[in-house]
Each structure stands twice: as structure tokens, then as C-alpha cells.
Structure 1
Amino acid sequence: MPETVQFTKESGVGLITLNRPEVYNAFNQQMGDELVQVLKEAAKDAEVRAVLLTGSGKAFCSGQDLRDRSDANLQTMSLGNSVRTRYNPIIRAIVQMEKPVIASVNGVAAGAGCSLALACDLRIISDRAKFIVAFSRIGLAPDSGASYFLPRLIGFGRAMEIALTGRDVEAQEAVQVGLADRIVPHDQLEEEAFRWARQLAQGPTKAYSLTKRALFYGMEHSWEEALEYEAQMQEIAGKTEDFREGVMAFAEKRKPQFRGK
């Protein structure tokens, strides 16, 4: 059983909680490995139709636990290999998850923890949350997908300024510039985040998966290629039970009862 990551299921929602509150949910090797394990479990679990990712205690995730490096020779160790083996599998598991993934940001999201939140499909945040692209503070470049997601969410110029300065982006600014989708009072975050996740869990799961694929594809290809890819995705969607249910519900003037199939 994972020790640093908790995983529970309720109403179609897989709740993943980073659980190292004493260090603001900073990553060590164990937590990185266990998060990948839990994400893969959620991806395979047919009962899970939406994933909600959050942190225990006061923080979402403060990034790399620098104490985890204390016994290593920082001049000879390979940070590149560390990124490839510890963080990239986490980001890949979120992006390739064929279900919506919501980050519920309850406090600071810094460094790789910020990247983790940005890689999720949606972000709901507490009014006490803050985002910090903190890599430059310790002489590093962005990793864990930050260089990909940050400029796409908020634009190149603003992304460059936030990445170079490593400054705190408080909750209100985060929503204004597009780092987050929704902001709620801190004491309402847990309830509102779960409500949003449950709403998605009741939706057309396969269509959500195809939507994720199409949007990622569209960001990297020409409009002509995107048109063809949309047609391919629609061919798949049109053969799902949820599509048939959606059409029948529309004709019968009732709310559709999607099953995620």
C-alpha cells in the first residue's frame, strides 16, 4: 500500500492525495514512485471516471524535497536522469489519462508541484493558493512539463516573466491570467472540487478522452491536420453508447444518463 499518496474512490471520482504534509508534500523518490503507481491504478479502474488530485495539510505540493538530495554529490549527479525517471512519468500519466484530471490546489504549488498542477486538465484553487515557478530560485530551468504548459495557458510573454523571476503568483492573479479555472474560499475548496469532479464523473467519459486527444493534437499540428483528426475522433465517438444515449435523451427531452462507454 502506498504510504505517501492516498487513493480513495467515491461516486465515480478517484481522489488522489499527496500525503507528506510535514514537508508541504514535497517530492522524494518514494512519493514520485507511488504517485505514478496510483495514477496508473486510477487509469485502469473502470469505477473511476474522473480524478481529483490534491495535497494534505497546508500545501498542494512544494516541489522537490531538497533534503532528498543531501547525500548526493550535486556536481556529479544527473538531474536530467532524475527528471526523466521521476517526474516525466507522472506528467505522462496525467496527460495520457483517458479521464478528466482536476487539480484541487489547497495551498502552495511550487516547482515541480506547480508543474504537476499545470499538467492537469482543470484547476480549482483555494483563495489561499499560490503558484511559484520556483526553478530559477535555485539556479535551475523549468521541468516536469512547465515549459510546455505554462506558455500555452497564459501566453509566452507572461510565462517568461513568471519563470525568470520565480515570483509568487497569488490566487486572484492565477485566475485572472489563466493559471487556474476557478477560485473558491479555502473552507469550501474540498466540497466544491469534489462537486466538480463528480459532475465530470457523470459525463461521457469516452468523449472526454477524445476531447483531450484532439486538443493536444490541435496545439501541435496545422488546421488541416486538426480537421482530419477531429473527423477521426468523431468517428470513434459516434460508436459509443454515450452518444446514442445523448441523442435519445435530447429527443426525449430528458437529462442523459451517461455510463462512460
Structure 2
Amino acid sequence: MSDDAIAFELRDGVAWLTLARPERRNAIGPEMARALQVVADRCADDPAVRCVVLTGSGRFFSVGGDVDVFSQAGGDVEAIVLDLAQSFHAGVHRLATMEKPLVTAINGPAAGAGLSLAILGDVAIAAASAHFTSAYSAIGLTPDGGASWWLPRLVGLRRAQEIVLTNRRVDAREAAAIGLITRVATDEDLAATAREVAVALANGPTRAIGRCRSLLLASSERDLATHLAVEARSIASAAAGSEGKEGVNAFVAKRPADFTAT
């Protein structure tokens, strides 16, 4: 099935979400923002979904917010942009915090809020032709979609300052070198590479992976003693669960673990 703005396809336990406004270079307007929230909730809540891939259609991943919406808002621009950002952020937050892994397959240029979506993946794979630009301050705006939260964590504050303040274009090779993304694939191999990674994650212990996501996201917000205590409770709970039991039993028996049956 598909939404007008974001196509949804489920196969082999992997939900493929495709930004489906190629004629608008997958710009994020109200419809796209609402669609992201809907599909993110569906992916998070559906037990048949074990991994999510987010990609774009056409030549662009996403050029970010639909500036035409801003320019046509007139005196209501603040309220309209706030509503758009909050709707978009609901989908971003659900994708970032769901107990399932997220792969981004960045098929082309990503700018503004498109950059925010591109770097959201636990594994972010970019086509060689992709490039990344903050773009916000170039038109007098500030980041959204979590860009100012993720960038310092991924590339460090100093590089984040340059990326956001100067709007310098970062090509795919450099993006991988500085940790903005995970790896680069050829344009022709991007979909196959993303599929291979996603299927492997979908066949893994998805509940444990979800807990790993949570631990990593919270690591910079806690002191060490608190985080160690959370880790202890998490690994104990995982060991007592069906995934932990299957993983340990498979290791001892020297056989492949079957996490999809747990």
C-alpha cells in the first residue's frame, strides 16, 4: 500500500518508506509531515515490521522543508511553520525511538530537513552521488528535524558549527569519513546494499536491538554510574527474555540463532 506522500511496502520483515514527491524533490510540506507521522507510528506498532528503511524517489533524497509553504503563509507564517515542524518532529521522534532499527538509503542530495532525515538512520548508507547541506541559515532559518541535536553527536561540535553556519556542501565520501553517515555505495548498488543490511537486522534480535538504540541515545544524558545501572538492568532483562535465551542456547549448541521465532 502507499500514501500519496510516502510509499509504504513491507517485505521480508522490512518496511520500505519512500518519500514520494519526486516532482517536488521530496520537499517536506504539511502532507509529507503528516504522512511521516502515520507511517512511523505504523512501523513502530506493527509486530510484522522488524526493520525500517527510509529512502527517496527520483534524483533527490529530500531538499528539506517546502519553502513555498513558508512564502505563501503571509501573516500566519509563524503558526503555520510551527505546526509543520511539530507534525514533522512527531514522525522523526517515533522513528528515532521505536524499538526497531532504522536504515536510511540516501539516494541523492539531502538538505535542510532532508539532512535531518538522512542522518537519522542507525545505519546511514549514501549513494556516491549524494551530498549534504544544512541550508537553513542561507535563507535566514534555523535547523529542525533534530539536525542541531544529531550533528554534534555524530561529527563533533566544531564540524557541526561549520556545517550549520557556512552551509558548506559535504559530499558522500567526506560524509562517511567524518561519521556523518555510515558508508557509501555506488548509485546502482544502493538499494541492494540497504536491503542486505535491513534484512540482516530484521532477522536479528529486534527487541535487543531496540534496547541498544535506547541505551545509545541516552548515553550522553546520564552520568556513568546511572548509565551503568541502566545497562545492568537491561542486560539482565534481555538475558531472561526469549531472544537472550535463544541466542545463548544457539551459541552453546554452535548453531545459528533463530530470532524471528522468539
TM-score of the alignment, normalized to the shorter chain, above 0.5: yes
Q: Tell me how far 1:70 sits from its aligned partner.
A: 3.3
Distance 1:84 1:62 in 2: 15
Structure 1: runs of 5 or more not aligned: none
Report SS of the residue matched to 1:219. Answer: coil
Distance 1:225 1:212 in 2: 17
Where does residue 69 of structure 1 map in the other structure? 70
Alignment of 1:58-207 (within 5 A): 58-73=59-74, 77-78=78-79, 81-82=82-83, 84-207=85-208
Structure 2: runs of 5 or more not aligned: none
Report SS of the residue matched to 1:104. Answer: strand
Distance 1:190 1:215 in 2: 27
Distance 2:228 2:108 in 1: 40
Letter in 1 for 2:203: Q
Report SS of the residue matched to 2:132. Answer: strand
Where does residue 39 of structure 2 map in the other structure? 38
Report SS of the residue matched to 2:150. Answer: helix
Q: How many residues align?
A: 261
CA shift digits 1:27-79 (9 cap, x unpaired):
11011101110111111111110000000011111101111233211685336
Letter in 2 for 1:187: E
Where does residue 6 of structure 1 map in the other structure? 7
Give the direction of change, closer, same or farther, for the CA distance of 1:212–1:258 in structure 2 (3 Å limit): same
Distance 1:184 1:229 in 2: 36
Report SS of the residue matched to 2:136. Answer: helix
TM-score by length of 1: 0.96
Distance 2:118 2:77 in 1: 30
Distance 2:29 2:261 in 1: 35
Distance 2:208 2:51 in 1: 13
Letter in 2 for 1:68: V
TM-score by length of 2: 0.95
Alpha carbons 2:155, 2:178 under 8 Å: kept:
yes
Residue identity over aligned pairs, in percent, reads 38
Alpha carbons 2:38, 2:91 under 8 Å: kept:
no
Report SS of the residue matched to 1:16. Answer: strand
Q: Tell me how far 1:203 sits from its aligned partner.
A: 0.2
Alpha carbons 2:70, 2:77 under 8 Å: kept:
no
- Runs of 4 or more consecutive aligned structure 1 residues displaced over 4 Å after TM superposition: none
CA shift digits 1:128-165 (9 cap, x unpaired):
11111110111112121011100100001011011100
Where does residue 19 of structure 1 map in the other structure? 20
Alpha carbons 1:204, 1:260 under 8 Å: kept:
no
Distance 1:251 1:80 in 2: 56
